[in-house]
Structure 1
Amino acid sequence: MSAPPRPYRRNALWIAAMVHRVSGIGLALFLPLHFLALGLSLQGAARLDSFLRWTDIPLIKLAEGGLVFLLGVHFLGGLRVLFVENFDWRVNQFRVATAAGGAAAMLAFAFLIRVL
């Protein structure tokens, strides 16, 4: 026998909270790669230049656009959580969550246009 559906999982704000958590995990997975790049800069210019040439691959540029999206979503989702927890603000949460996702997507798109 399956469990009854949970109506709160159909809520857009639940989805926004889940996107915030997943973006945090994605950023945490990226962090070791960032530290690797910083470490290569300490090993000399030739090692860093080799790594930076690798990052010119279009697939890597696309992944960087995804990273910008994750940063935007996580930042704006965090602001939404701060407002929810510290103010009596319940009326326009759905609109703000939708706007935050749209703003993050536009930011990532602008980044991709600039780097590709």
Structure 2
Amino acid sequence: MRPARAHPLWLAFVLHRVSGIALALFLPLHFWVLSLALTRPETLNQFLSFAEQPVVKLAEFGLVFLLAVHAFGGLRLMALEWLPWSVPQKTLAAGAVGVAVLISGTFFLQVV
């Protein structure tokens, strides 16, 4: 028998929590950059030219990945609360991560 921490649903739980924390840490930076449009447009232009670098595009991929993972993790939680959970559905939970990779990968290919 595998330990509980190696269970796919436990890993989905951890991924959902980590993605939520990462998104919460990103939001203040996002709001600060948005405020630059109103307070310091020249600084915003400098930031936007910085944002064209490949490493920033890679970070955007990570952000979209975290957002997709968090969204599908939320759907997983709603399914756990409202639907009877069977063994085959554990595979669907892992599939949700795969769909998150597909969505974020599509975004990444469009911005590169």
Q: Which moved more, 1:27-36 or 1:91-100?
A: 91-100
Q: Provide the identity percentage.
A: 49
Q: Which moved more, 1:89-98 or 1:69-78?
A: 89-98
TM-score, length-normalised on structure 2? 0.91
TM-score, length-normalised on structure 1? 0.88
Aligned partners of 1:13 and 1:93 also within 8 Å = no
Highest CA radius of gyration, 1 or 2?
1
Higher relative contact order (CA closer than 8 Å, sequence separation 6+): 2
SS at match of 1:92: helix
Kindly indicate whether residue 51 of structure 2 is the aligned counterpart of residue 51 of structure 1. no
Aligned partners of 1:19 and 1:73 also within 8 Å = yes
Q: Which moved more, 1:92-101 or 1:16-25?
A: 92-101
Structure 2, unaligned runs of 5 or more: none
Kindly indicate whether residue 105 of structure 2 is the aligned counterpart of residue 109 of structure 1. yes
Letter in 1 for 2:60: E
Kindly indicate whether residue 75 of structure 2 is the aligned counterpart of residue 86 of structure 1. no
Partner of residue 10, structure 2: 14
| Alpha-carbon distance in 2 for matches of 1:103, 1:87 | 21
User: 1:17: Cα distance to partner?
Assistant: 0.6
Deviations 1:5-34 (A, max 9, x none): x82111111001100000001101111110
| Alpha-carbon distance in 2 for matches of 1:93, 1:25 | 26
SS at match of 1:113: helix
Structure 1, unaligned runs of 5 or more: 1-5
Aligned partners of 1:84 and 1:90 also within 8 Å = no
Deviations 1:64-112 (A, max 9, x none): 0000000000000100100111222334331211111111111111111
Q: For this pair of structures, how many residues does the alignment match?
A: 111
